[in-house]
Structure 1
Amino acid sequence: MAISDAEAVARVRAGDSGAYGELVRAHAGVALRVAVFLGAGADAEDVVQESLVKAYRALGGFRADAPFRPWLLRIVANETRNAQRSAKRRGVTEAAAVLPEPVADPELSAEARARRAELLAALEVLPEPYRLVVTCRYLLDLDERETATVLGWPRGTVKSRLSRALRKLRVSLETDLAHD
């Protein structure tokens, strides 16, 4: 039987490092998706690894009444930004894709695939804060509170930026449809 995040954190703090393995198994998948969607590209696995190590070291300062997943994902988001800055300083010109190429889904019609591609293309050209908030809310399926924690923004900022981002996406997609 799996234990809750709060129980696992308490066990790790009590010296049971194996309990951290349970936290890692429970959250590594979403952590990797966050790193990829926020632009870590080929470095996503390294970013997650570093984030998990940092989270382990910082567990002493973790508030027991706070949810673990958003706290961890905030660390992943910060590490992703650090990796991007580091790559720029090194002069790495390979642009990490903001959004991974979707896996071919035979269930999707050609029209649905084309519409999805249009949506992803429109999302890629949004200003970064808008792209980040839409990615967190809809591609990573984080709730408003989790999105605020991951991005380090107040909830009101998440709401307003999401509203503006969706409006920009709508206008962009309507413009694209008008040109077709």
Structure 2
Amino acid sequence: MIARVRAGEREAYAELVRVHADAAHRTAVLLGAGAEAEDVVQVSFVKAYGALGRFKDGAAFRPWLLRIVANEARNAYRAARRQRSAAERNAVLEAAVPPLDDGDPVGLVLSRERRSELITAVDRLSEPHRMVVTCRYLLDLDEEETAEVLGWPRGTVKSRLHRALGRLREVLGDPSAVAALRGPGVGRRT
């Protein structure tokens, strides 16, 4: 499809946008773009289109695009840090973290409380730690994709993820609470 875009076929790029728009939007929101997420996604697709000449043949398009989105989201996050409310980001994160219980009413209430604590703790991590946890567990990217999206070596992803999870365990005071990030089927790829 990239070859078709490079050959000037606009519909091929429109198809790439359709295929990757949801992932790009989720990435922008979860990495802190907040209300600016739509703008971040649009700018990212424009930049990706302009940079297709530098896209490596045979490389995966999704991680390459999400790296552009991550950079734009980072810029938007920094620009609007003081204006954005933590509640907005917490609501999006809450929706992204899978439920911890399968329907027991008492367990569901406790699950919501634990999720809320976990989300607050993730939101309070340093930017690099929040970003690596978001990519790895909330966006369900594997280590290699996370490294590509964030523009870091794979070893950096591993070490920052290890430190971030350690920090979460420390803040939450419950080693098992961090397991909620992984949820069933989330963040299991290597």
User: 1:93 is matched with which residue?
Assistant: 83
Question: Structure 2: which amino acid aligns with 1:18?
Answer: E
What is the identity percentage for the equivalent residue pairs of Structure 1 and Structure 2? Answer: 61
**Residue 46 (str. 1) matches residue 39 (str. 2):** yes
User: 1:14 is matched with which residue?
Assistant: 7
User: 1:102 is matched with which residue?
Assistant: 94
Q: Of 26, 29, 34, which residue of structure 1 is paired with 2:27? A: 34
Equivalenced residue count is 166
- CA distance in 2 between counterparts of 1:69 and 1:39 reads 19
**Residue 169 (str. 1) matches residue 161 (str. 2):** no
User: 2:139 is matched with which residue?
Assistant: 140
Residue pair 1:35, 1:80 contacting (<8 A) in 2 also: yes
- CA distance in 1 between counterparts of 2:57 and 2:43 reads 22
- CA distance in 1 between counterparts of 2:175 and 2:158 reads 26
TM-score by length of 1: 0.84
Shift, 1:41, TM fit: 0.5
- CA distance in 2 between counterparts of 1:95 and 1:141 reads 25
Deviations 1:52-108 (A, max 9, x none): 0110111111001211001000100111122234446xxx633464441635x8957
Question: Structure 2: which amino acid aligns with 1:63?
Answer: K
2:94 alignment partner, SS class: coil
User: 2:181 is matched with which residue?
Assistant: none
1:110 alignment partner, SS class: helix
Shift, 1:124, TM fit: 1.2
**Cα distance 1:170–1:94, how it changes in 2: closer, same or farther (>3 A)?**
closer
What runs of 5+ residues in structure 1 fail to find an aligned partner? 1-7
Residue pair 1:38, 1:98 contacting (<8 A) in 2 also: no
**Residue 111 (str. 1) matches residue 110 (str. 2):** yes
Residue pair 1:31, 1:73 contacting (<8 A) in 2 also: yes
Residue pair 2:169, 2:175 contacting (<8 A) in 1 also: no
**Cα distance 1:143–1:101, how it changes in 2: closer, same or farther (>3 A)?**
closer
CA-based RMSD of the aligned residues comes to: 2.2
**Cα distance 1:128–1:98, how it changes in 2: closer, same or farther (>3 A)?**
farther
TM-score by length of 2: 0.79
- CA distance in 2 between counterparts of 1:140 and 1:58 reads 24
**Cα distance 1:107–1:26, how it changes in 2: closer, same or farther (>3 A)?**
farther
- CA distance in 1 between counterparts of 2:85 and 2:47 reads 26
- CA distance in 2 between counterparts of 1:69 and 1:149 reads 10
1:27 alignment partner, SS class: helix
